[in-house]
Amino acid sequence: MSVGKVVTKADYDSKSGDLAQQINQWAESAANLASNVGTMTDPDLVNLGYTQDDVVLLRTCVADMHKLAQVYLGEIEQTPAYDFRSFLNRISGLSEG
């Protein structure tokens, strides 16, 4: 008998299906966020408590998320290759920037 969890077909089916749903939901959320942030002016965002530097970073990150969603959805192509993590890591707490 082996030690640990035995992985089954059902485990892979469940995990892959869950991940596919999450990616589809993320793409829709990224587009919605881009639309919402796009309607706000810089002073609107500053009034929410962002500094002007924060506003620039937020707009850059939202634009990157939207572009990645558009690539995923087949709406646009991304050439040359682009590392979308650069700015997103800064707002995810993974990098000091």
Residue 1: its pLDDT value, please? 57
From first to last of its 97 residues, the chain has per-residue pLDDT tens of 578 889 999 999 999 999 999 999 999 999 999 999 999 999 999 999 999 999 999 999 999 999 999 999 999 999 999 999 988 998 988 765 5
Residue 96: its pLDDT value, please? 57
* 1 domain-assigned: no
* 68 domain-assigned: yes
* 97 domain-assigned: no
Q: Is the dihedral of CA 66, 86, 17, 25 positive or negative?
A: negative
Question: How many other C-beta atoms lie within 10 A of the C-beta of residue 27?
Answer: 19
H helix count then E strand count, the chain: 4, 0
| Residue 72 belongs to domain spanning | 9-92
* 30 domain-assigned: yes
Name the burial class of residue 30, with classes exposed (0-12), middle (13-18) and buried (19+) by CB atoms within 10 angstroms of its CB. Answer: buried
Residue 93: its pLDDT value, please? 81
d(CA 7, CA 4): 9
Domains identified in the chain, total number: 1
* 66 domain-assigned: yes
Residue 3: its pLDDT value, please? 86
* 55 domain-assigned: yes
Q: Is the dihedral of CA 25, 29, 32, 34 positive or negative?
A: negative
